[in-house]
Each structure stands twice: as structure tokens, then as C-alpha cells.
């Protein structure tokens, strides 16, 4: 997203800097790779990839790895032989490290605003007040502060709306003239228009491939075309959600906190390193996954009404094939890990002993924000009776907080609190140390 001419941005107090409230999107650059490099400087400048669950495929690549032509999603077994010749560094996904580094970044960001919305593990929206120039200066301070306090590089995009802040952040990443911080309103209008003309409509946050094809069919091919569209017409032909995107491109803030997340479900699933052959092992796995889903709900301040639990054997297995699933309507919207765990265990009678299951998971749907309904009544899912109370209702946020600080495996309820065995736990043969969440892995500095 580079430009033919370097964009210029007026400084604080310029005539083009009216007093206003802006939205800043702060995004960690190449988060997994940067987290690994923060504690292992020897990885700087070297090609590095991070692998998915069970060391399956490439999910993050450093710029040097991209230059080698390694595609996203490349199966590790296909590139393992060439790795040494390439000088390629490889790491298993260190979720404990990434979760803790995320929490540290968000803590730093919270120092610069009273309105912080965590959008994902590596990005957040902040509300910034002041003139455009003052907001731009704050963006630079935030960038330097995150780097100094966490060791992670970030880019900052600032604009009147979240959709434009997304574009500004992306522009800041792609154009070195911004030095990592772009304020949309401080870029000359002709350059903004040039960018919108060059961007495909599917490059706009929230549009998606399906809507993109439908928009192309009516002559809307670029971001500029969408920004110039009639919002009322877009609502009639598409949806109120896409209409809001148009309004945001035109500079009118209208995407609220919950709408901006795009949450329709919370999904927690893992493939097993080795097949699970017993109900007891599956019960532990489902407990861990249900409580992982509860933690994600707590992080997003959401509750769900429907839980779906599933498991499956390999589609390539020559033996017995089994793909059981069950959908459990909960008595009310909840993020209570006890309720979710009990519901997930309803799958167990469908699990066949001795059959090698290679995956399992839970999906929470029918989501809504916490606090938008009356007091909950908790159903005893084992007996079907309404207990009239909510045991463990505060456990979800507590589990999430402890897991963020000490790692996911540090605490669990019931079977999820048992030490997981090697039967089904995830394969991570190239795992880096848990630098910030395990005493035994703390970095040691020796003075000479």
C-alpha cells in the first residue's frame, strides 16, 4: 500500500487540526513472530515461522520467511527438509507466551485512554481526544511506549471511525513514510482518494468475499465506489451492517463495540496429538475446551445460549468412523464454565469406547453482551432441574484472568483441573520457553 509521493502530516496545532474525538487502532506487527523475537534476539533478521496446533502448518511468517517464498498454511512436513538449507527458524505455537504478551500490551494501551476495546489478541481500539495533531503525537507516544515496555513493535491508525482507523493502520504498515503511525485526517485528501481508488472493495474491514462478489455485480469494485454509494440503497440491497460500513467510510461513526467484533460464535477446538480412545480421556478434553470457551466469552464480555459439542475420527481412517455431535440449548444466556462443561459432557454417551477420535471441540452460539438480560437461572444439566442459583457464575472471568497470567494449563474445574496426559494433549516439539508464565523458564541475565 505504498504511495507514489510521501504522505505529509501536519503537526500539532496546525489549521487542519480541529478539536475532535478520534479512534485509534493499535495492532502488533506480526504478533507471534515479534513475541518470539522479544525474548530471543538471535531471531532478529532471520527467517522464522510459527506452526499451528500439533506443528501442522505455517500460520505466521516473518518478512524473511515470506521472501523465501514460504506460503501461509504450508504443511510443515513439506518444508522441513529444506529448513536447514534455508536457515529457517521454526517455533511451535506458544499460546501461553502470546496470551501474556497480549495482556501486557493491553495494559500499556490502557494508560492512554479511558475507552479501550480489545478487538483481538494483538489489536485494540482506543478513543483519543484532542486536535488531530495531538492525537497523532499520542499515537507516536503509544508506539514508543509499547515497544519500550514489551519489546513489541506496533502500528497505529487514527481516524474518525473504526473502519477508517483500520485503513489507516494498514496504510501505516505498508508505507514507511508514516513510520508506523498514520492519522487519516492529516493525510492530504488527494492521497486518501488515491488509496481508496486502488483498494478492492473486499479489502475493506467487514465486507467479505460473498458481499464483495455481490457488490462487484452492481459496479462497486473499489473502496472509493463503496464510500460513494448511497447508504439507504446499500441497506435495501444488502444489510444494515454493510450500510454502517458505508457511513463509516464517509466519516460517520456508527459501529458499536459489540458490532465491531463480528462475533457470531465462540469456537474452541483442537486436534489431538494422539487419538483419544476412551470416554474418560474425552471427558477431560471436553472439560478443557468448554472452559476455554468460557474464558473467551469472559474476555469478550459475552454470554451464549446454545452449546454444540462434537468429536470426530480421521476421514482417512480405515477402521470405525464416528463423528458424534450434540446441540444443547442452555436455560439462559451464560458464560458460566460449570454450565458449559456440564453441557459439553452430554456428548459423552455418544462416544464409542475404543474408537480413535482425533479431534473434539465446542461451539457457543446465540451470543449477547453480559448484562442485557435479567438474573439467570441455572439448570442442573445432570438432573434437568432448575436450581434457582448460579454456582460458579464468576468462575469464567476468574479462570480467564488466571490463565492469562499463569498459562491456560495453570487452573481448571473438575476434569479440566487434572494434569493433562500425553494421550491427547497438543504436540509442540519446537516450543520456546514460557518466558513470562513459568518460574523455571524465566530468562537469566548474567553479568560479567
Question: Do 105 and 120 belong to one domain?
Answer: yes
- Residues making up the chain, counted from first to last: 448
Question: Do 207 and 350 belong to one domain?
Answer: no
Is 101 inside a domain boundary?
A: yes
3-state secondary structure of 45: coil
State the total domains in the chain.
3
Tell me how far the alpha carbon of residue 230 is from its chain's centroid: 32
Is 281 inside a domain boundary?
A: yes
Question: Do 90 and 131 belong to one domain?
Answer: yes
- pLDDT, averaged per 10 consecutive residues of the chain (448 residues), comes to 44 47 93 94 93 86 93 90 92 85 88 84 90 94 95 96 95 92 94 93 89 92 93 91 92 70 68 85 92 88 87 80 86 90 94 91 84 43 42 55 58 53 64 84 81
The DSSP-derived string for 239-276 is -HHHHHHHHHHTT-----HHHHHT-SEEEEEEEEEEEE
Is 230 inside a domain boundary?
A: yes
Domain final residue, candidates 197, 215, 250: 250
Q: How do residues 211-245 score in pLDDT, each as one tens digit?
A: 889 999 999 999 999 999 999 999 999 988 899 99
Question: Do 121 and 213 belong to one domain?
Answer: no
Question: Do 49 and 77 belong to one domain?
Answer: yes
What per-residue confidence (pLDDT) applies to 376?
Answer: 36
What per-residue confidence (pLDDT) applies to 10?
Answer: 43
- CATH assignment of the domain containing 202: 1.10.150.20
* Cross-strand pairs, 49: 61, 90
Question: Do 217 and 285 belong to one domain?
Answer: no
Candidate list 36, 64, 96, 123, residue with the active-site label: 123
What per-residue confidence (pLDDT) applies to 296?
Answer: 87
In angstroms, the CA 321 to CA 324 distance is 10
Question: Do 194 and 179 belong to one domain?
Answer: no
197 grid coordinates: 481508488
Q: Which long-range contacts (CB under 8 A, 24 or more apart) does 240-245 make?
A: 241/206, 242/206, 242/207, 242/211, 245/163, 245/204, 245/205, 245/206, 245/207
Question: Do 225 and 151 belong to one domain?
Answer: no
Domain final residue, candidates 184, 205, 221: 184
Is 437 inside a domain boundary?
A: no
What per-residue confidence (pLDDT) applies to 359?
Answer: 85
- Range of the structural domain that residue 100 is part of: 20-184
Residue 311 sits at φ, ψ, to 5 deg, of -150, 165
DSSP 426: P
What per-residue confidence (pLDDT) applies to 237?
Answer: 92
Domain final residue, candidates 250, 275, 299: 250
Question: Do 91 and 237 belong to one domain?
Answer: no
Is 192 inside a domain boundary?
A: yes
Question: Do 176 and 199 belong to one domain?
Answer: no
What per-residue confidence (pLDDT) applies to 115?
Answer: 81
Question: Do 354 and 327 belong to one domain?
Answer: yes
What per-residue confidence (pLDDT) applies to 181?
Answer: 96
What per-residue confidence (pLDDT) applies to 13?
Answer: 34
- CATH assignment of the domain containing 27: 3.30.70.270
Is 388 inside a domain boundary?
A: no
**pTM of the predicted protein model:** 0.67
A 10 A CB-CB count for 225 gives: 17
Is 29 inside a domain boundary?
A: yes
- CATH assignment of the domain containing 352: 3.30.1490.100
Is there a catalytic annotation at residue 123? yes
Is 305 inside a domain boundary?
A: yes
Nearest C-alpha neighbor of 91 from the set 40, 146, 36: 36
* Cross-strand pairs, 90: 49
Question: Do 179 and 196 belong to one domain?
Answer: no
What interhelical angle do 95-109 and 395-406 show, nearest 10?
100
In angstroms, the CA 131 to CA 194 distance is 25
Amino acid at each position: 500500500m505504498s504511495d507514489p509521493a510521501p504522505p505529509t502530516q501536519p503537526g500539532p496545532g496546525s489549521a487542519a487540526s480541529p478539536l475532535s474525538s478520534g479512534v485509534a487502532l493499535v495492532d502488533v506487527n506480526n504478533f507471534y513472530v515479534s513475541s518470539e523475537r522479544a525474548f530471543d534476539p538471535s531471531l532478529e533478521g532471520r527467517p522464522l515461522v510459527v506452526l499451528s496446533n500439533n506443528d501442522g502448518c505455517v500460520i505466521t511468517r516473518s518478512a524473511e520467511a515470506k521472501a523465501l517464498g514460504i506460503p501461509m498454511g504450508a504443511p510443515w512436513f513439506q518444508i522441513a527438509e529444506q529448513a536447514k538449507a534455508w536457515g529457517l527458524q521454526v517455533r511451535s505455537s506458544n499460546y501461553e507466551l502470546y496470551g501474556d504478551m497480549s495482556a501486557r500490551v493491553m495494559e500499556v494501551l490502557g494508560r492512554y485512554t479511558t475507552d479501550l476495546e480489545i478487538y483481538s489478541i494483538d489489536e485494540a481500539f482506543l478513543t483519543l481526544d484532542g486536535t488531530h495533531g495531538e492525537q497523532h503525537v499520542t499515537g507516536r507516544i503509544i508506539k514508543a511506549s509499547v515497544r519500550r515496555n514489551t519489546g513489541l513493535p506496533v502500528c497505529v491508525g487514527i481516524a474518525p471511525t473504526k473502519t477508517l482507523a483500520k485503513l489507516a493502520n494498514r496504510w501505516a504498515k505498508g508505507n514507511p513514510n508514516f513510520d508506523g503511525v498514520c492519522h487519516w485526517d492529516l493525510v492530504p485528501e488527494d492521497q486518501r482518494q488515491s488509496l481508496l481508488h486502488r483498494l478492492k472493495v473486499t479489502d475493506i474491514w467487514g465486507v467479505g468475499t460473498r458481499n464483495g462478489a455481490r457488490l462487484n455485480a452492481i459496479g462497486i469494485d473499489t473502496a472509493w465506489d463503496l464510500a460513494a454509494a448511497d447508504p439507504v440503497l446499500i441497506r435495501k440491497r444488502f444489510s444494515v451492517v454493510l450500510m454502517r460500513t458505508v457511513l463509516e467510510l464517509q466519516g460517520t461513526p456508527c459501529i458499536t463495540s459489540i458490532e465491531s467484533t463480528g462475533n457470531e460464535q465462540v469456537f474452541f477446538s483442537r486436534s489431538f496429538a494422539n487419538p483419544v480412545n476412551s470416554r474418560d480421556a474425552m471427558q477431560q478434553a471436553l472439560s478443557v475446551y468448554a472452559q476455554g470457551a468460557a474464558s473467551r466469552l469472559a474476555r469478550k464480555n459475552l454470554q451464549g445460549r446454545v452449546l454444540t459439542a462434537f468429536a470426530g475420527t480421521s476421514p482417512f481412517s480405515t477402521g470405525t468412523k464416528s463423528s458424534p455431535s450434540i446441540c444443547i440449548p442452555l436455560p439462559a444466556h451464560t458464560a458460566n464454565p460449570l454450565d458449559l462443561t456440564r453441557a459439553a459432557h452430554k456428548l459423552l454417551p455418544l462416544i464409542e469406547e475404543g474408537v480413535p477420535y482425533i479431534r473434539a471441540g465446542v461451539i457457543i452460539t446465540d451470543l449477547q453482551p453480559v448484562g442485557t438480560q435479567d438474573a439467570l437461572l441455572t439448570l442442573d444439566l445432570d438432573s434437568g432441574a432448575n436450581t434457582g442459583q448460579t454456582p460458579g457464575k464468576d468462575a469464567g472471568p476468574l479462570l480467564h484472568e488466571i490463565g492469562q497470567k499463569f498459562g491456560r494449563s495453570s487452573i481448571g474445574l473438575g476434569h479440566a483441573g487434572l494434569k493433562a496426559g500425553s494421550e491427547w494433549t497438543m504436540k509442540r516439539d519446537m516450543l520456546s520457553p514460557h518466558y513470562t508464565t513459568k518460574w523455571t523458564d524465566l530468562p537469566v541475565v548474567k553479568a560479567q
